[in-house]
Amino acid sequence: MLTYDDFLKIMHIGIELTTENDKNKLLAGILQKGMEITNCDAATLYLYKENALHFKIMKTLSMGVSRGEDGEEITDMPPVPFKEDNVCAYTAIHREIVNIGDVYHSETFDFSGPKRYDALTGYRTQSMLVVPLENTEGDLLGVLQMMNAMDTQGKVIPFDEEYEMVIRALGSLTAVALTNIQYLNEMKLQLHSFVEAMATAIDQRTPYNGSHTRKVAEYALLLADKINEKAKNGEIDQVFDEDRKEKLGLAALLHDIGKMIIPLSVMNRATRLDRDKKAVEDRFALLEAYVRIDMLEGRLMKEEGESRLQEIRDALAFIDRIDAAGFLTKEDIDRVQAIAAMKYVTTEGKEIPFLTPKERTCLSVQKGTLTDEMRKIMESHVEMTSRILDKVYFNSNYMNVPKWAGQHHEFLNGTGYPAHLTADDLDLETRILTVTDIYDALTSTDRPYKKPMPREKALDILRSMAEEGKVELRLVEWLGEALADKGTP
């Protein structure tokens, strides 16, 4: 007879089941709660797939048997085929509850399987309650099989008929919860597939950035694992469980999505002149031609003409040298200005400058390949990342992902961009992305305008940035430890 306490227990179980988001815990929960309600000794949970019932969880209290509760697969038990002589299959096919007082005195179904199990283990299967699990749309999810109900003295008795609807209701709650988990997983899959598609598009857009997005994600998760290790030792009071790691990984994959709108002329700028180099070379060839014509037609003496030709060749050789140089000295930049001031006047009075104003500006970039104007365009990718992600719906669980992605160029001392945030504004996830983004930029092997740095040199640069108050020193050191543990050169 169901008591008031039984009803309270059932209500609490319903609440627990509908709030559980881990499938394995949910399935283990229904089996455990079903056993508690009916006070039975054993239970088996089957899941339906590929037109058969597959063993998911098996539990027998009196024999200390517990299999599948932690999600491990039960591979040594063959699936139950859909044949009506098997009680579980019958329940699944007809969606009916089956309540049997003693399987050894029942001729309705084939109980050779339980009897063989009893013979092997010394167990005695007696009473059985078998309940189908189906969702609100009538889809079969599985079967719950309860065995050997007991009275208060521990004697095996038949399952009370009152429990049939209770267990079925419990099964329905579980089926609904399973369906919700499935929908949740599908939503996650949809989000992850979108992020993967965006990451692929970003990295494929330019050959000079082909693996950056995924390398930043790899380093960020590697650092998160190292933080977990430090947390166990009491060095930090934050940990990255799977949910937090998932969100960090998504933010890493999305951090450069704003580069989708950056012109390739900026994104792919391999040298200071890049595609403009051909125009400079053609102009210098034209200058040489004019000098030679003037020499042939007697407007220039040979000695002066040869001097002019050498001047043109020296200027072009200098331009060739500095075009892809990593760093220019003040003397280099002064010479660029001097060359830019040079021009050749043709017989028609046409002035041909050695360099255009744009070329002079490009060749005067001291470090890297981008002018100030180009750099502003490049830096705008961060704001565009935020603007693009603002158009994407992120539920409450993922609401911080776009924020972290859009802040990866901020520094702790407020000298970053675009919002000049400070340490108080920056979450640990943002700080991780900043460190790992810089590290990959320094060590990347696919940048044509610079050679990759070895690990320790890159870490030393990050340590210097930490001394300046830009990034967090302990994250730099922990990243170094994590890379060393992995054997990264």
- What does the pLDDT read at residue 118? 86
Instruction: Indicate the number of domains in the chain.
Output: 3
Q: Please count the other Cβ atoms lying within 10 Å of the Cβ belonging to residue 174.
A: 28
> For residue 445, is it within any domain?
yes
Number of helices followed by number of strands (H, E) in the chain: 17, 10
What is the rounded distance in angstroms from the CA atom of residue 414 to the CA atom of residue 470? 8
Q: What integer pLDDT is reported at residue 181 of this predicted model?
A: 77
C-alpha span between 389 and 360 (Å, rounded)? 38
Q: Which of 368, 394, 410 is the last residue of a domain?
A: 368
Residue 194 is assigned to a structural domain of this protein: no
Could you tell me if 167 and 248 lie in one domain? Answer: no
Q: Are residues 482 and 390 in the same domain?
A: yes
User: Are both 59 and 105 inside the same structural domain?
Assistant: yes
Assess whether 52 and 167 both reside in one domain: yes
State if pTM tops 0.85: no
Q: Residue holding tokens 């992995």? A: 486
Sign, Cα dihedral of 224, 226, 227, 232: positive
Give the domain range for residue 281. 274-368
Q: Are residues 383 and 351 in the same domain?
A: no
What are the two backbone dihedrals, phi and then psi, of residue 54, each rounded to the nearest 5 degrees? -100, 135
pLDDT beneath 50: ranges in the chain: none
Q: Is 163 found in the same domain as 69?
A: yes
Residues 174 and 55 in one domain: yes
Q: How far is CA 422 from the centre of its chain?
A: 26
The CATH number given to whatever domain includes residue 438 is 1.10.3210.10
Question: What was the pLDDT predicted at 318?
Answer: 97
CA 408 to CA 471: how far, in whole Å? 11
What pLDDT shows up at residue 23? 75
Residue 234 burial class via C-beta count within 10 angstroms: exposed 0-12, middle 13-18, buried 19 and up: exposed
Q: 319, 339 in Cβ contact below 8 A?
A: yes
Q: Could you say which of 316, 347, 368 is where a domain stops?
A: 368
Using alpha carbons, select from 163, 129, 166 the residue that is nearest to residue 146. Answer: 129
3-state helix, strand and coil shares in percent for the chain, rounded to the nearest 5:
60, 10, 30
CATH number reported for the structural domain that contains residue 37 in this entry:
3.30.450.40
| In-domain check, residue 269 | no
Q: Is the dihedral of CA 165, 170, 175, 177 positive or negative?
A: positive
Helix (H, G, I), strand (E, B) or coil at 101: coil
For the beta carbon of residue 161, count every other beta carbon within 10 angstroms. 10
- Is-contact 59 35, C-beta < 8 A? yes
